A and B are shown apart, each in its own frame.
Chain A
Amino acid sequence: MSLFADAFAWLFDAANWAGPNGIPIRTLEHLLYTLVTLVAAGVVGVTLGLYIGHTGKLRGAAVIVTGSLRALPTLGLLFLFALWLGIGLTPVIIVLAILAVPPLLAGTYSGIEAIERSTVDAARAMGMTEWQILAKVEIPLAMPLIVSGLRSAALQVIATATIAAYLPLGGLGRFVFDNLSLRRWDAVIGGAIVVTVLALIVDGLFALLERSVVSRGVRAARSRDGSAAQPARKSVAADAA
């Protein structure tokens, strides 16, 4: 039971916060892997998602491919790519990106599909080019779902970036994997706690971002629906009373 007490003692030991193996440096490495992965996965996933959402083509293929990507065992894949490409950051980023692409892809194309067809039709009938429809209508209106895809991708990547330690690169996974064989549970659990806290913080930041990218016009529509429902409830209450 003193495991957690030991873990917190490890966390608050100043020695673990200093030097290249300290918590701050490992956290930065961890965030760097996450950032590089999200940028790479974003380029692939969002671009493909925009194409599928805008044209309606390849949708069936995307559903199958993303479904099977999610089912791949990450650790096995990491060893496969490490054997193929050699030890380094590249296999780690590829494996993490494979995790991050499906939510980004799905968020992007479903964000565009959720837009009312008449809105897009009107934009085209007014004389917008396909690029203008994408940039001025579809992307702004799909933004909340794109960011929501980014949010779940980020959460998964932060949690899984610990595997970089297997190769063995940096990141917070080092605390977990290096100390497992040494049976130094305080460091293993302490490292896991840092990963968890980091994931929660990043998730919270994305939640805020997600709310801020909802256009004011769309928010007005939602609050109007809410206020329209209210008088109806009131009148029911009045009838009851």
Chain B
Amino acid sequence: MIQFDHVSKTFPDGTRAVDDFSLTIPSRQTTVFVGSSGCGKTTILRMINRMVDPTGGSIHIDDDDIATLNPVTLRRRIGYVMQNSGLLPHRTVIDNVATVPMLTGVKKSAAHAAALDLLDTVGLDRALADRYPAQLSGGQQQRVGVARGLAIDPNILLMDEPFGAVDPIVRRELQQELLRIQSKLAKTIVFVTHDIDEAFLLGDNVVILRPGGHIVQAGSADEIISAPADDFVADFVGANDGKRDLTVRERNGRRVAVDPSGRIAGVLRAEQPSDA
């Protein structure tokens, strides 16, 4: 559990990026911060591993006030995945993934063996282990970034627009991969994006932010789409412009749902008791 209590951040140039932000992020779920650029979402994310220190309020991870923890030790407990992979260009894929474990004293052979397993986890061919980042595609680099974030088997994984710079097809693949990994590992993931569809797809909890880190609405995708808190949210999630409206039509004796552009979104069925 990560708890923000009345957290604010004023940068030295006077910009108030985050103003009185309070939120409890539950463990072992994915929480997504979504908002347009400048809403403070990245700043809030980076406060969790003390890449940014708040100028007011406090942040607790479980029972620890993180202001009392050594930043380096804290960061080694928290996975971090960023937009442009941030891989070390002079190190091979396997060395990149093994970097943090080796900093904490894990033997090279053990760290490399674990790193190879992680390449499997993120769906990368082990044959790529000895390549350099520049020899990989953007999507492959992001997978290495995720593997590196998971290398220390952290409880918390911070992801700062990790799929923002890859093309839409690869992005969809990576999103599905993340859902698969999360269903297996159940980490506390804090994810930042400006893409509301990505937020709804990945987030157990979605937090919509306005500039200054003000929470406009927080809840599950269901809750937000079915009951937007105000016009800002309704606009943001596309509930006002009919983007999410589906109409039911009869086609060849079956009832289908049709999206606003006239494409068929799916077939309607009566609800059935689930197997699980």
Contacts and interface: CB of A to CB of B under 8 A. Distances in A.
Given A126-B100, A126-B148, A127-B75, A141 B90 contact: yes
Contacts of B51: 121, 124-125
Contacts of B85: 122
B82 A118 contact: yes
B108 interface: no
B29 interface: no
Given A125-B49, A127-B103, A129-B72, A217 B82 contact: no
B180 interface: no
A141 B132 CA distance: 14
A221 B134 contact: yes
A201 B83 CA distance: 46
A57 to B, nearest CB: 14
10 contacts: A119-B88, A125-B80, A127-B72, A127-B73, A217-B89, A217-B90, A217-B132, A218-B89, A218-B134, A220-B134
Interface in A182-219: 215-218
Given A125-B82, A126-B148, A217 B76 contact: no
B134 A224 contact: yes
Contact of A122 (B73, B86, B103, B135): B86
Contacts of A136: 88
Contacts of B133: 217, 221
A24 interface: no
A122 to B, nearest CB: 3
A123 B80 contact: no
Given A127-B72, A217-B92, 16 more contacts: A118-B82, A118-B86, A119-B88, A121-B86, A125-B49, A125-B80, A125-B82, A125-B86, A126-B148, A215-B89, A217-B90, A217-B134, A220-B134, A221-B132, A221-B134, A224-B135
Interface in B44-84: 46, 49, 51, 72-76, 80, 82-84
Interface residues of B, number: 28
Query: Chain A interface mostly helix, strand, loop or mixed?
Result: helix
Contacts of A127: 72-76, 100, 103
Interface of A: 118-119, 121-129, 132, 136-137, 140-141, 215-218, 220-221, 224
B188 interface: no
B91 interface: yes
B99 interface: yes
A122 B89 CA distance: 12
Contact of A216 (B74, B88, B103, B132): B132
Contacts of B72: 127-129
Nearest to B86: A122
B49 A122 contact: no
A175 B96 CA distance: 55
Given A126-B99, A127-B75, A129-B72, A220 B132 contact: yes
A122 B134 contact: no
Ordered nearest first, which 9 A-B pairs have the shortest CB separation?
A: A122-B86, A221-B134, A217-B132, A127-B76, A215-B90, A127-B75, A125-B80, A217-B90, A220-B132
A71 B89 CA distance: 38
B76 A122 contact: no
Contact of A128 (B89, B91, B103): B103
B87 interface: yes
B134 A125 contact: no
Contacts of B100: 126-127
A119 B99 contact: no
B49 A218 contact: no
Contacts of B83: 118
A122 B91 contact: no
Nearest to B80: A125
B84 A118 contact: yes
Contacts of B103: 126-128, 132
Contacts of B91: 217
Interface in B96-143: 99-100, 103, 132-135
Contacts of B82: 118, 121-122, 125
Nearest to A141: B90
Nearest to A124: B51
Contacts of B134: 217-218, 220-221, 224
B77 to A, nearest CB: 8
